[in-house]
Amino acid sequence: MLYSFTFITMVGGNPKHDAYGFRYWKTPGAFAEYLSTGNIGRFEGFLAAVWSAAFCVVGPEYISMVAAEAKHPRVYIKSAFKTVYWRFCVFFILGSLCCGIVVSHTDPILNDAAGTGTAAGSPYVIAMTNLGINVLPHIVNALLFTSIFSAGNTYCYCASRSLYGLALEGRAPRILTKCWGGNPLLCFAVVLCFAMLSFLSLSSGSNVVLTWMTNLITAGGIINYIVITTTYICFYRACKAQNFDRSKLPYLGRFQPYSAYIGLVWMSFVVIFYGYSAFRPWSVKNFFTYYTMVILAPILYVGWKLIKRTRILRPHEVDLIWEADSINVYETLETDPPVGLWTEVVELVGLRLAQLRGKRQQEV
């Protein structure tokens, strides 16, 4: 809907009949200056934008979290991961382009609402207000609520399962392994406690603390990507050393290992230089806000290696088979074929209706 709004209004389909097109890309320009002026300032603005975008772009890789609970992981996870590329293109790249089309980065309303954490800072809402569109901003606010709820639901699920996995490995309290109906409710309750920190945005003073936490979380997300690319490079080297044919796997990554190296270099560049503003001028507070996770991650890794006395495996020592036989047996016993999304939805609704009818008959 927002993409349609962008196209229709930019060609003149708005109350003011203003066909603004790509006006804001020319005046004041597509790249905003930040800290400095000229080309250096525009490059610094680009770095600041990359850091802000990094907080939003973290998440599509969380599809792998459902592999342990998927009925046909080799089929469903493979299909789901193929949609990640389209999600990045449609939701992130096109969304960023539309934001730059509908509103100027020098818009006073946009700059005043920046950092408030409310829908008033949405470029689409500001563009609708500037064009004299009255009802549509309220609809967008409602849609934003549904997307926020969906994102929160995803993060709660992934965080609770991650905590549960840590508890199973003995890296979190053992009590967190207790489940009810197959669900780690204690882990879910712990995760919801951290969600309460979102109320910090209600106060201007505590909003600063929330900004610090956002920076820490963003750095953690980028480090997560660095770990993912590093892990894949090690996996690729192990496959080469053991003459393991990757084409036999359910999912084959293309353009490897070059894609992994490009991702590793780019993410390392972002995580190293994103906090450069802490040096202009020097600020201890800003430095630790940006670089705490960068310092903490290597300390935790090296500390674990020293305390547990573990070592890095060489490529020919890596176990590429692991529990493949058990997985093959499971998929052989799982005789019902995988179905599509809408078939699953219909079956789920039908199952619940059948359960309700059964309970009513028992009550009668």
Q: Are residues 168 and 241 in the same domain?
A: no
Stated length of the chain: 364
Q: Are residues 242 and 303 in the same domain?
A: yes
Rounded distance between C-alpha atoms, residue 251 and residue 82, angstroms? 9
Q: Are residues 322 and 237 in the same domain?
A: yes
Q: Which residue carries 């809907």 as its tokens?
A: 1
Any domain includes 1? no
CA neighbor of 32 nearest in space, from 98, 95, 105: 105
Kindly state the DSSP code that residue 65 receives in the 8-state scheme.
Answer: G
Any domain includes 231? yes
- Which residues is 180 bridged to in the sheet? 183
* Structure token pair of residue 111: 């700059």
- Which residues is 279 bridged to in the sheet? 282
Can you say whether the dihedral through the CA atoms of 165, 168, 172, 178 is positive or negative? positive
Any domain includes 289? yes
- Which residues is 183 bridged to in the sheet? 180
Looking at the structure of the chain, the number of domains it has is 2
End-to-end CA distance of the chain: 48
Hey, what long-range contacts does 210-219 have (CB within 8 A, 24 or more apart)? 210/117, 211/115, 211/289, 212/289, 214/55, 215/275, 215/289, 215/290, 216/289, 216/292, 216/293, 217/55, 218/51, 218/54, 218/55, 218/58, 219/271, 219/274, 219/290, 219/291, 219/292, 219/293, 219/294
Cβ within 8 Å of residue 216, ≥6 positions away: 289, 292, 293
Any domain includes 30? no
Rounded distance between C-alpha atoms, residue 319 and residue 207, angstroms? 47
CA neighbor of 277 nearest in space, from 34, 32, 33, 31: 34
Per the structure, the complete domain to which residue 199 belongs is given by 133-203
CA neighbor of 51 nearest in space, from 259, 211, 209: 211
Do 270 and 51 touch, CB atoms closer than 8 A? yes
Any domain includes 19? no
Any domain includes 111? no
Q: Are residues 167 and 227 in the same domain?
A: no
Q: Are residues 224 and 318 in the same domain?
A: yes
Q: Are residues 219 and 255 in the same domain?
A: yes
Q: Are residues 191 and 251 in the same domain?
A: no
Q: Are residues 321 and 211 in the same domain?
A: yes
CA neighbor of 49 nearest in space, from 14, 92, 82, 17: 92
Low-confidence residues in the chain, pLDDT < 50: 354-356, 364
Cβ within 8 Å of residue 122, ≥6 positions away: 140, 144
* Structure token pair of residue 358: 């059964």
Q: What are the pLDDT digits (tens) for 46-82?
A: 888 887 777 777 666 777 777 777 777 777 777 777 7
Rounded distance between C-alpha atoms, residue 276 and residue 282, angstroms? 9
What is the structure's pLDDT at 356? Answer: 47
Hey, what long-range contacts does 28-33 have (CB within 8 A, 24 or more apart)? 28/104, 28/105, 28/106, 30/100, 32/105, 32/106
What is the structure's pLDDT at 246? Answer: 84
Q: Are residues 236 and 175 in the same domain?
A: no
pTM for this structure? 0.75
Any domain includes 20? no
Hey, what long-range contacts does 238-243 have (CB within 8 A, 24 or more apart)? 238/315, 238/316, 238/318, 238/320, 239/320, 240/315, 241/314, 241/315, 241/316, 241/318, 242/315, 242/316, 242/318, 242/320
AA identity, residue 238: A
Any domain includes 189? yes
